[in-house]
């Protein structure tokens, strides 16, 4: 009876963590609005916008004209906007983020359920469940409609299907292998550098698992079907037959276009992983990942992650976001490495209950992790989105005149906004107090002013009888406690409503 009670309590606890994880993912989709990187807008949503509105391609980046980006995600955004959520672009973005969050949630928990079989200690299983449910980056990452996020989700699902296909007890192994190839083919087309991970999986299949030619042929067939479908989507989008993976390889790697955006040393990703794993605890977690590679060399994730990281380390241009497709598999390897090290060092099976130092470290980790989780889940991912949404909603019913200080909010330095642009707004660039007074005279009532800073310029305050904050990515409660004006010169976009003095 006692064992049954304990088992029931564990089941309830795990179910609660899974439910909490789902809630966090949905909250991230709603609250962490906006892009994490400009490519999510300019090479997905703006690509979709070029199909929605004729002529919009004039403002697209060079990647569009060199045909190096796959069209699968722009096609999804196009369909969602036209048939589900349009014409409001922010409703489209929300639907896409919700879909991303659900896809990411399912992919990590399905892989977690399988990975629990690789762990023998209760504390290790608990750690993996807690990491899956509450690691600070996962809800934020999975809620992004970005190529890295979707490629990572499809990679996790592809790993699961591959493992299922290699199970000799299953009668449907051929169909599972074909499905695995199909899913992995889409993972590749969603983000071409996932090829490094697929090379690792291929090596694992050939040298470790050896499932037989029938399974390998089925996977190859599914992969080719995925390639064919994506080539057809690219034809629809670009208007001609093109092989975007080949174009990507020739332009970015052979011609060195990507390296023009910066070159980093081979150890770049070691540093970034250390930052992502909550310093200073990453000094333990990062070596644990290495331990998993050394002590669990036959695990499929070891081959997938190792080949992905090694391959990316040889590419000159590096960015933190390039790690995201394998970030959750890295967390699994961390837990596997911690367990393998505890076995190697002959530590107690329940080290958490026997060591105060370990308990203190765990509590401190989850406090820091919880703070980061709250900030990233419930804060806008991108300050520009807050302003763009305000402009769009404010100009829905009547034309909006907006004075701008120093910067047009639709030209943020990374490109020109088209997808989120409102046709009902006009901008007046302000260079001096006299120009603002002229703008005030043309405004029917109060004047709206865009400022690319947290606080308004002194000249603006003196020109207004009442200056009210209308929109900003910096919450009002932070402004209220900022008595020392520490945030006053930060480049946080804001819109103010200026009521003129009586004439």
For the chain, the structural domain boundaries read 2-378, 383-499
Q: Are 136 and 376 in contact (CB under 8 A)?
A: yes
Structure tokens at 74: 């722009």
Q: Are 77 and 96 in contact (CB under 8 A)?
A: yes
Kindly provide the residue ranges of all beta strands, DSSP E only, lying in 291-431, ordered along the sequence: 400-405, 425-430
User: Over the chain (503 residues), what is each successive 10-residue block's mean pLDDT?
Assistant: 69 95 98 90 92 74 94 98 92 97 99 98 94 98 98 99 90 94 99 98 97 96 99 98 98 92 94 95 96 98 99 96 98 97 80 75 94 95 92 92 89 82 91 84 84 82 86 80 74 89 77
- Which residues does 171 contact at the CB level (< 8 Å), separation at least 6? none
CA distance 460 to 498: 8
At residue 277, φ and ψ (nearest 5 deg) are -95, 30
Structure tokens at 72: 């699968």
Structure tokens at 242: 């093109």
- Supply the pLDDT for residue 1: 47
CA distance 9 to 96: 36
CA distance 7 to 182: 38
At residue 449, φ and ψ (nearest 5 deg) are -130, 130
- Which residues does 328 contact at the CB level (< 8 Å), separation at least 6? 107, 108, 111, 132, 138, 152, 156
Q: What distance, in Å, lies between the first and last C-alpha atoms of the chain?
A: 83
∠ at Cα 374 (450, 451), nearest 5°? Answer: 10
Structure tokens at 270: 């070691």
Other Cβ atoms within 10 Å of 366 Cβ, number: 16
CA distance 287 to 91: 43
Q: Which residues pair with 430 in a beta bridge?
A: 405
CA distance 466 to 373: 37
How many residues are listed for the chain in this entry?
A: 503
CA distance 304 to 200: 5
117-126 contact pairs (CB < 8 A, 24+): 118/296, 118/299, 118/332, 118/336, 119/335, 119/336, 119/339, 120/339, 121/339, 121/342, 121/349, 121/350, 122/349, 122/350, 123/349, 123/350, 123/351, 123/352, 124/335, 124/336, 124/338, 124/339, 124/342
- Within 13 Å of residue 320, how many CA atoms lie on the same side as its CB? 11
Q: Are 17 and 129 in contact (CB under 8 A)?
A: yes
261 DSSP assignment: G
- Which residues does 497 contact at the CB level (< 8 Å), separation at least 6? 446, 447, 448, 449, 467, 468, 469, 470
CA distance 29 to 141: 10
- Which residues does 75 contact at the CB level (< 8 Å), separation at least 6? 48, 233, 236, 237
CA distance 77 to 43: 11
Element (H, E) at 494: strand 494-499
- Supply the pLDDT for residue 99: 98
- Supply the pLDDT for residue 461: 80
Write out 280-341 in H/E/C secondary structure: CCHHHHHHHHHHHHHHCCCCHHHHHHHHHHHHHHHCCCCCHHHHHHHHHHHHHHHHHHHHHH
Q: Taking Cα atoms as reference points, which of 213, 222, 215, 163 lies closest to residue 188? A: 222
Look at strands 494-499 and 447-451 and give their pairing: antiparallel
């Amino acid at each position: 009876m006692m064992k049954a009670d304990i088992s029931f309590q564990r089941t309830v606890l795990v179910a609660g963590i899974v439910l909490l994880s789902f809630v966090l993912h949905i909250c991230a989709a709603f609250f962490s609005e906006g892009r994490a990187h400009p490519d999510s807008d300019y090479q997905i949503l703006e690509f979709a916008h070029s199909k929605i509105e004729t002529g919009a391609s004039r403002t697209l980046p060079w990647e569009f004209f060199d045909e190096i980006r796959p069209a699968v995600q722009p096609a999804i955004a196009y369909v969602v906007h036209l048939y589900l959520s349009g014409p409001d672009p922010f409703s489209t973005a929300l639907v896409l983020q919700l879909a991303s969050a659900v896809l990411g949630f399912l992919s990590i928990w399905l892989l977690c359920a399988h990975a629990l079989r690789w762990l023998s200690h209760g504390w290790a299983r608990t750690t993996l469940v807690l990491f899956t449910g509450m690691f600070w980056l996962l809800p934020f990452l999975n809620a992004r409609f970005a190529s890295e996020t979707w490629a990572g989700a499809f990679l996790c699902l592809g790993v699961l299907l591959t493992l299922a296909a290699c199970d000799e007890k299953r009668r449907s192994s051929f169909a599972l292998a074909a499905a695995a190839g199909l899913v992995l083919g889409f993972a590749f087309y969603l983000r071409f550098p996932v090829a490094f991970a697929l090379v690792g999986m291929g090596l694992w299949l050939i040298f470790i698992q050896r499932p037989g030619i029938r399974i390998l042929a089925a996977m190859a067939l599914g992969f080719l079907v995925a390639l064919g479908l994506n080539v057809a989507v690219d034809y629809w989008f670009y208007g001609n037959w093109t092989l975007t993976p080949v174009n990507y390889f020739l332009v970015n790697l052979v011609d060195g276009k990507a390296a023009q955006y910066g070159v980093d040393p081979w150890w770049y990703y070691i540093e970034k992983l250390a930052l992502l794993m909550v310093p200073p605890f990453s000094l333990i977690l990062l070596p644990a990942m290495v331990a998993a590679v050394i002590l669990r060399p036959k695990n499929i994730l070891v081959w997938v992650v190792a080949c992905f990281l090694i391959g990316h380390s040889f590419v000159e241009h590096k960015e933190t976001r390039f790690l995201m497709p394998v970030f959750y598999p890295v967390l699994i390897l961390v837990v596997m490495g911690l367990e393998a090290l505890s076995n190697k060092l002959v530590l107690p099976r329940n080290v958490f209950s026997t060591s105060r130092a370990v308990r203190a470290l765990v509590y401190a980790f989850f406090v820091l992790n919880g703070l980061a989780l709250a900030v990233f889940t419930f804060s806008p991912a991108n300050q520009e989105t807050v302003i763009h949404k305000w402009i769009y909603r404010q100009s829905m019913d009547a034309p909006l005149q907006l004075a701008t200080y120093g910067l047009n909010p639709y030209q943020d330095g990374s490109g020109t906004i088209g997808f989120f642009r409102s046709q009902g707004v006009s901008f007046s660039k302000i260079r001096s107090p006299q120009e603002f007074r002229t703008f005030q005279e043309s405004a029917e009532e109060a004047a709206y002013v865009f400022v690319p800073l947290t606080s308004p310029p002194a000249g603006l305050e003196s020109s207004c009888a009442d200056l009210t904050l209308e929109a900003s990515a910096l919450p009002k409660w932070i402004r209220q406690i900022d008595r020392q004006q520490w945030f006053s010169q930060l480049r946080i976009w804001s819109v103010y409503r200026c009521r003129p003095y009586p004439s």
